[in-house]
Structure 1
């Protein structure tokens, strides 16, 4: 067939790249450039605290030119905004901010119990000024310096690895977490388009307890190769399962034994050119390489440097798209209100008790807080800052990954949230760059 792009064998002769079903590939099609997708999901940093201090591009919607302040007590009008964000956040955060759904309500709305009807009608109801108040409540402190760590931000010299990656590739400054809540519900949304009503890091995530179809099952059913490389722990009470191990199917199908591998295997496979079509990476959580407090920022920088250099120097680099994101904001401040009244993954709800002892119920129809996200490939522009999603009518959020994979490989949307999400294939260009750095700067270890 004239012009048909025939997908070749991967660098490893043992891995055959499947031709996407129902898609005719041509040499100028973005799909002809990308054979391998690598996704690394780090932990618990908002856009403003981690990337809001970047200065290489004035278009970045961060904190460098924005005076962002909170009150110690959001319910006291006399206090106004008496704690303001400043540069040089600590390498090790002294506290781990509250990032439960009820705690995030306080951070976004300055109350644990926003009027959801009014919230949907009035976007200004999200004042984004309760992060310091929530920090004060959670840690029972009136120390402004301590509480300000929830909104302080890093400077480029503190995060030279991430800064260099952003300077060389595409930075999204309007990419939202899926859920205004904790890690596992966000990771479930990212990998299946729903958390099946789970709004906390409950036991189900440690026992293959989620029944919905995930991206991992969907890829297997369509003969697309995948691996979940992980440096995590498994089982209830032992930490965090790698994300593929959330799902019942992964255990019953036996894929937990064949498709979940130690992180050391990732480095070996990358070097040998044997990465699968879809690589999903779980860092350790939450002590040293995930950025989740008390993980030092400098150690997290060393980790993402190693992942990047393994991908960049792999024989598969020329056909790879690497996405680096963070699962949620972790309670750290951001000045941009998340979109409201968006499609949930399903009709299930989550109920929990707030600090004031009263219940809140959440329907998953609000996105989470902005998180820093990078699109890395020899096929993307250098130093581009991508703002609001333009494709598909929705916003950029974690399900933009699944939606774009569906476009790449001809897969069906699993949930309404995926259908809603903006895709980013328009950022893939027709020019392969030769100036992508093979190594990144070393992280800065504070003295």
Structure 2
């Protein structure tokens, strides 16, 4: 009777409740997943992008949380608060600061948090400095302009992502690997460390990272992979696809054989010839990556096309598709990132904050939450996954590496990978036949 009452209350509240009958595998989950597709988009926090989703009340977003920031974090009473609302623009007017020092201000309301207080840092992570940092970065006291870092999208405004979330698994406690910019996070996604790089420096443009990556690891294990990319410049000429970060990719010749234009992805998906591991880079940062000034509508159109190609592929019944964002891009989130986590290695990073003083970062805390989906005919419909449970860690970008390690019997790349919670328990025993073949068109802003 107690169990029946609990189930009834849960159903009425809209929460998705995991039970042994509906979640978790009984058989060999590895036999179900033969192909993994990873698409990493750009620069959106969970709250501002997915915090307005309303298909279940179980999402830790902004619909049930009044989230405000101070215009002046050092004197909060001086100018009052700015609060998040459902009025985010299709094109963000500004690209928020997402350097490590800028993210310090966003999380701690100071560029120089006391890194020695690892055990009690939760007390000073107030997540109230996003608007202050935006005000400083763009030298503005215009509350409407500064508030864009907090404003969020409604379910109707992100119809593509929202439909995917309703039909598959949404993580609402998945953190970026680094509280900083794109390439250090992408390095953690693909190798479990950034080798001390905390900004988008030139090493990423010249195959300059020396560490062993997932791409090298897969080649050594005889597992097929491709990095499909839509860069407007290409390897060595600008914003590299992620496989081209690594020295091994160049010296092994994989840059010629395993990096291909995005058109090839669509052709391979249609033909049923995608490799065992597919990694996709969108262009950055003008029209399909979600990175300002990329319009949300064009980003939605892009992920719709990727999903429909994967869903329509003859390989669909053996595929797991992971969609995530590399980092929060300076946009606000109310959940403090975990601290005291293992770094990828012992290489430190130093940069100069806006006040002219240096900060040194040891990579022992995670970045801000980002939206992440697990998509497959083998996962439950509309399930919301919260805190990770296995390995004792959190969900973060290196959770992908940990999953691949378990799937294909690979060795562990770094301590951060060992720490990260993985998600094979979300693969069920039931092959679904109700997954949508097509997704709705993006919201018509104009």
TM-score of the superposition, structure 2-length normalised?
A: 0.93
Match of 1:8 in 2: none
Match of 2:161 in 1: 162
- Residue by residue over 1:81-128, the C-alpha shift from the partner in whole angstroms, topping out at 9 and shown as x without a partner, is 510000020000000000000000000000000011124433121000
Match of 1:177 in 2: 176
- Residue by residue over 1:261-287, the C-alpha shift from the partner in whole angstroms, topping out at 9 and shown as x without a partner, is 000000000000000000000000000
Match of 1:320 in 2: 319
- Residue by residue over 1:336-363, the C-alpha shift from the partner in whole angstroms, topping out at 9 and shown as x without a partner, is 0000010000000100011101110000
State how far apart, in whole Å, the 2-side matches of 1:366 and 1:389 are: 16
Moved over 6 A (4+): none
Q: Residue 156 of structure 2: SS of its match in structure 1?
A: coil
Listed as ranges, the matches of 1:274-313 within 5 Å are: 274-313=273-312
Match of 2:213 in 1: 214
Once the two structures are TM-superposed, the CA of residue 235 in structure 1 deviates from its matched residue by 5.0
Match of 2:138 in 1: 139
Match of 1:54 in 2: 53
State how far apart, in whole Å, the 1-side matches of 2:363 and 2:369 are: 16
Match of 1:425 in 2: 424
Once the two structures are TM-superposed, the CA of residue 205 in structure 1 deviates from its matched residue by 0.1
State how far apart, in whole Å, the 2-side matches of 1:47 and 1:132 are: 16
Please, which moves more after superposition, 127-136 or 27-36?
27-36
State how far apart, in whole Å, the 1-side matches of 2:126 and 2:298 are: 33
Please, which moves more after superposition, 114-123 or 374-383?
114-123
- Is 1:72 equivalent to 2:71 in the alignment? yes
- Is 1:93 equivalent to 2:92 in the alignment? yes
Contact 2:150/2:333 (<8 A) preserved? yes
Match of 2:39 in 1: 40
Contact 1:182/1:328 (<8 A) preserved? yes
Listed as ranges, the matches of 1:187-336 within 5 Å are: 187-232=186-231, 233-234=233-234, 238-336=237-335
CA RMSD of aligned residues (A): 1.1
Once the two structures are TM-superposed, the CA of residue 27 in structure 1 deviates from its matched residue by 9.3
1:235 to 1:353, Cα distance in 2 relative to 1, 3 A: farther
Q: Residue 379 of structure 1: SS of its match in structure 2?
A: coil
TM-score of the superposition, structure 1-length normalised?
A: 0.93
State how far apart, in whole Å, the 2-side matches of 1:375 and 1:96 are: 28
State how far apart, in whole Å, the 2-side matches of 1:244 and 1:193 are: 13
Contact 2:184/2:197 (<8 A) preserved? yes
Once the two structures are TM-superposed, the CA of residue 430 in structure 1 deviates from its matched residue by 0.2
Q: Could you list the runs of 5+ residues in structure 2 that have no partner in the other structure? A: 1-24
Match of 1:380 in 2: 379
State how far apart, in whole Å, the 2-side matches of 1:313 and 1:27 are: 27
State how far apart, in whole Å, the 2-side matches of 1:339 and 1:77 are: 25
Match of 1:397 in 2: 396
Once the two structures are TM-superposed, the CA of residue 79 in structure 1 deviates from its matched residue by 3.5
1:287 to 1:32, Cα distance in 2 relative to 1, 3 A: same
State how far apart, in whole Å, the 2-side matches of 1:235 and 1:267 are: 20
State how far apart, in whole Å, the 1-side matches of 2:343 and 2:358 are: 21
Match of 1:361 in 2: 360
Match of 1:15 in 2: none
State how far apart, in whole Å, the 1-side matches of 2:433 and 2:223 are: 29
Higher helix share: 2
- Residue by residue over 1:213-235, the C-alpha shift from the partner in whole angstroms, topping out at 9 and shown as x without a partner, is 00000000000000000001335
Match of 2:342 in 1: 343
Once the two structures are TM-superposed, the CA of residue 386 in structure 1 deviates from its matched residue by 0.2
Contact 1:119/1:126 (<8 A) preserved? no
Contact 2:26/2:429 (<8 A) preserved? no
Q: Could you list the runs of 5+ residues in structure 1 that have no partner in the other structure? A: 1-25
Match of 1:16 in 2: none
